[in-house]
Amino acid sequence: MIKIARALITATWLALIAAGPAAAEITPHAQVKAMGRGVNILGYDPIWRDPAQARFRLRHLVQIKQGGFDTVRINLHAFEHMDAEYRLDPAWLITLDKIVAAALGQKLTVILDLHNFTYCGEKADDCKPRLMAFWQQIGQRYKNSGDGVVFEILNEPNGQLNESVWNNWLVEALAVIRKSNPKRNVIIGPVLWNNIERLDALDLPKADRHIIATVHYYHPMEFTHQGVPWSTSWPKVGVTWGTPQDRLRMKKDFALVQRWAKAEDRPILLGEFGAYDKGDMASRAAYTAAAAREAEALGWAWTYWQFDGDFIAFDMKTDTWVKPIHDALIPK
């Protein structure tokens, strides 16, 4: 009886995921408009190893929707959940199914973002078959999920993934995805961690008009990454942001991206932005608000980094939004 009950629950999740016509087609520009304001979730949460230990609960998707957001970018460290033949763990997939179904149930757009960027930057030869296998399996599993699900081939290509390698890989990965998802919108960004200054070297297939370009924005790093524990590059704390010169630099940087977007006729997702917790709150809120409003003024979608963990928008201990950050993202 327990096995039957589990099978019925799984079937219900899959039915929710498959809701909507498989052949539904939405232009990438319309998709970006629908994506609107979003937040990154779940990358380093224990949910993937043991759902009972999860910090993130499905009810948080309700709070995200009620908090004014339109999209969740789910950061997937999927390679850790593959066997020797690159098959994804069925239990991991069921957890993902639950999250996707719950997010779609809240009418949130779901970005499935392959987030094994460090591994791929350091071990490209080992990464490539895993990446292609991931998209073959995920593409097949979510091919009937309707236009509320968007694929992102790889977060922040870097290291061994230089322009030449990445431009070849993205074509191959798109071909894998297009076998099962010919019209689904796919997110792709440039090398050097989705660097705005490398957009010109991003070679997207001209004939594929279901692509959304993405960039990440953390300039200046000495402000946004001050005191981070994972790098010694920006040890100085007490760095502030918000002068007219600071704001002008951001406008110029975003204008660089917008010129490329217009020339290539590709819509933009600002996939990550924010300032680390060691910065003073007034500067962090000012930076966050400026980036969000500038992106919106240019017609981009955005997904803030991140819901919880660090750069946080939501405090798990108090079960409430970090008000200055949330107000900066979703002004009253």
Cβ(64)–Cβ(108) below 8 Å = yes
Per-residue pLDDT at 136: 98
Please give the residue range of the domain that contains residue 10.
2-329
Summarised one tens digit per residue, pLDDT across range 119-172 is 999 999 999 999 999 999 999 999 999 999 999 999 999 999 999 999 999 999
pLDDT(5) > 90: no
Mean pLDDT over residues 194-223, rounded? 97
User: Which 3 state secondary structure label does DSSP give 235?
Assistant: coil
Structure tokens of 199? 């957009």
pLDDT band at residue 25, thresholds of 50, 70 and 90?
confident
pLDDT band at residue 26, thresholds of 50, 70 and 90?
very high
Rounded-to-integer distance, Cα 62 and Cα 29, Å:
26
Structural domain count of the chain: 1
If residue 202 lies in a helix (H) or strand (E), which one and from where to where? none
Rounded-to-integer distance, Cα 150 and Cα 213, Å:
12
Summarised one tens digit per residue, pLDDT across range 247-275 is 999 999 999 999 999 999 999 999 999 99
The CATH number that applies at residue 67 is 3.20.20.80
**Least confident piece of the model among 8-22, 67-81, 124-138, 168-182:** 8-22
Contacts 24+ apart (CB under 8 A), 88-97: 88/134, 88/137, 88/138, 92/48, 93/141, 94/10, 94/13, 95/47, 95/48, 95/51, 97/10, 97/13, 97/14, 97/17
pTM of the model: 0.94
Mean pLDDT over residues 27-38, rounded? 98
Per-residue pLDDT at 21: 47
Mean pLDDT over residues 221-225, rounded? 97
Q: What is the mean pLDDT of the chain?
A: 94
Mean pLDDT over residues 163-192, rounded? 98
